[in-house]
Amino acid sequence: MPKNRNTFSSLTAWRRRIASRAVHGGWGWIKEAGAVTAEHPGKLRFRRIGSGTRLAFPQGTVFGEPWIELGDHCIIAEQVTLTAGMMPGLDLGADPILTLGNGVVLGRGSHVIADTTVTIGSDTYCGPYVYITSTNHSYDDPHQPVGKQWPRMEPVEIGPGCWLGTGAVVLPGARLGRNVVVAAGAVVRGEVPDHAVVAGAPARIVRTWDEENGWQPPLRTPAPVPIPEGVTPQQLLAIAELTPEEA
């Protein structure tokens, strides 16, 4: 009897391994097939989708694509929402509403809601679950439900080279300069100058940089070691694959 039980357990484990490989292999194929690129846009017809740009599968809510421009080499992670206009099927005019520059990264579960113009500059990186919106509810009339009152809309502009941490929120009317850092969970409104770090809700400036004084207050961590000149991406990948003993 123990022998039969062991045989049955081994057969069950073998079947589970086979099923697991099949499921993971199938899901990998589905994700690859469902990804959106310039060459394989599927049903999405963006105003522009640049070379090397990829929207991972499954995508979040996407509508108003004829008014959305995506630059080259953008990375749009899974379940990212990109919308232009308040609802699908509207004619938004001749100009783009939502524009992503080259090399923009939107982390998993992020939302970019552009009822009026939203511009994200090149090489801006967003962590997971970042929320960027040009629209907010109004509550002027105390006798009407907030959700039934006409919302307020203001353009949003995020400069190039910014970094938005996990869960950051950018509200209507916000204008971020170049190379701005937004801390995780910060809620940003208004103008933020170039080379500033903001944190909190509402966000406030906690660090700035200029040519004369450098970072103020001074950074508490040493600068990272730069990659030596002449090192190729292939060499970096080879280094990453080394074991601790080989390194």
**17 pLDDT more than 50:** yes
pLDDT confidence band for 61 (50 / 70 / 90): very high
**247 pLDDT more than 60:** no
**48 pLDDT more than 50:** yes
The closest alpha carbon to 106, from 158, 51, 31, 40, belongs to 158
**236 pLDDT more than 80:** no
**Residue 137 is among the residues annotated as catalytic for this protein:** yes
Please give the share of the chain, as a percent, with pLDDT higher than 90: 68
Identify the residue with better confidence: 161 or 232: 161
- Residue from 24, 73, 137, 195 carrying the catalytic annotation: 137
pTM, rounded to two decimals: 0.84
How many Å from the N-terminal Cα to the C-terminal Cα in the chain?
51
**159 pLDDT more than 50:** yes
pLDDT at 221: 85
Identify the residue with better confidence: 192 or 20: 192
Measured CA to CA, the distance from residue 158 to residue 172 in angstroms comes to 11
**131 pLDDT more than 90:** yes
pLDDT at 20: 82
